[in-house]
Amino acid sequence: MRTEGKISKVAICEKCNGFILAGHIDYIDKQTEKEFTEFTNEGFTVKLETADETRSREFADYIKCSSGFCKN
Ligand SMILES: [Zn+2]
Protein backbone atom coordinates (compact mmCIF):
# COMPACT_ATOMS: atom_id res chain seq x y z
CA MET A 1 0.00 0.00 0.00
CA ARG A 2 1.31 3.38 -0.93
CA THR A 3 1.28 5.96 1.78
CA GLU A 4 -0.16 9.35 1.04
CA GLY A 5 1.59 12.50 1.99
CA LYS A 6 5.11 13.22 2.99
CA ILE A 7 5.85 11.02 5.94
CA SER A 8 9.37 10.29 7.01
CA LYS A 9 10.82 7.82 9.43
CA VAL A 10 13.42 9.28 11.73
CA ALA A 11 15.86 8.21 14.39
CA ILE A 12 16.02 11.00 16.95
CA CYS A 13 18.27 11.79 19.85
CA GLU A 14 16.00 12.67 22.79
CA LYS A 15 18.69 14.88 24.27
CA CYS A 16 19.30 17.35 21.45
CA ASN A 17 16.22 16.56 19.34
CA GLY A 18 18.40 16.18 16.27
CA PHE A 19 18.03 13.32 13.85
CA ILE A 20 20.77 10.90 12.96
CA LEU A 21 18.85 9.07 10.26
CA ALA A 22 15.78 10.00 8.26
CA GLY A 23 14.12 8.67 5.16
CA HIS A 24 10.83 8.91 3.30
CA ILE A 25 8.87 5.83 4.33
CA ASP A 26 8.10 4.95 0.71
CA TYR A 27 11.79 4.66 -0.04
CA ILE A 28 13.26 2.93 2.98
CA ASP A 29 15.07 -0.23 1.97
CA LYS A 30 15.94 -3.27 4.05
CA GLN A 31 19.40 -1.99 4.91
CA THR A 32 17.99 1.28 6.22
CA GLU A 33 15.33 -0.58 8.22
CA LYS A 34 18.14 -2.54 9.81
CA GLU A 35 19.91 0.68 10.75
CA PHE A 36 16.74 2.04 12.33
CA THR A 37 16.49 -1.13 14.41
CA GLU A 38 20.10 -0.76 15.51
CA PHE A 39 19.54 2.87 16.51
CA THR A 40 16.47 1.80 18.50
CA ASN A 41 18.61 -0.72 20.35
CA GLU A 42 21.13 2.02 21.10
CA GLY A 43 18.46 4.13 22.77
CA PHE A 44 17.48 6.51 20.00
CA THR A 45 13.81 7.20 19.38
CA VAL A 46 12.53 5.96 16.04
CA LYS A 47 9.18 7.31 14.89
CA LEU A 48 7.14 8.54 11.96
CA GLU A 49 6.52 12.23 11.45
CA THR A 50 5.81 14.65 8.64
CA ALA A 51 8.64 15.65 6.34
CA ASP A 52 8.17 19.23 7.57
CA GLU A 53 8.86 18.18 11.13
CA THR A 54 12.01 16.42 10.00
CA ARG A 55 13.17 19.49 8.10
CA SER A 56 12.83 21.57 11.25
CA ARG A 57 15.33 19.31 13.03
CA GLU A 58 19.07 19.62 12.99
CA PHE A 59 21.18 16.80 11.73
CA ALA A 60 22.74 15.38 14.88
CA ASP A 61 26.23 14.08 15.37
CA TYR A 62 25.85 10.35 15.96
CA ILE A 63 29.20 10.00 17.70
CA LYS A 64 28.37 12.75 20.20
CA CYS A 65 24.77 11.64 20.69
CA SER A 66 25.60 7.99 21.26
CA SER A 67 28.15 8.92 23.88
CA GLY A 68 25.92 11.51 25.54
CA PHE A 69 28.01 14.54 24.69
CA CYS A 70 25.61 16.38 22.42
CA LYS A 71 24.04 19.68 23.39
CA ASN A 72 20.79 19.79 25.32
ZN1 LIG B 1 21.95 14.32 20.58
Tell me the residue range of the domain where 58 lies.
7-67
Complete edge-to-edge strand list for the sheet that includes strand 45-50? 19-24, 7-12, 45-50
pLDDT of residue 72: 60
How far, in Å, is the centroid of ligand 1 from the Cα of 55?
16
As for how many domains the chain has, the answer is 1
Give a yes or no: residue 37 inside a domain. Answer: yes
Please tell me the pTM assigned to this model: 0.87
Q: Is residue 40 part of a domain?
A: yes
So what's the pLDDT on residue 71?
Answer: 75
State the pLDDT at residue 1: 43
Phi-psi bin for 36: left (phi > 0), alpha (psi -120 to 50), beta? alpha
Q: How far is ligand 1, taken at its centre, from the CA of residue 4, in Å?
A: 30
Query: DSSP letter at 72?
Result: -
- C-alpha 22/C-alpha 40 separation (Å) is 13
Domain assignment present for residue 35? The answer is yes
Low-confidence ranges of the chain (pLDDT < 50): 1, 3
Cα of 26 to ligand 1 centre, how many Å?
26
User: What are the CA-CA distances from residue 4 to residues 7, 17, 24, 32, 69 (Å)?
Assistant: 8, 26, 11, 21, 37
- Do the domain assignments include residue 2? no
Whether 1 is in a domain gets the answer no
* 2 Cα to the center of ligand 1, angstroms: 32
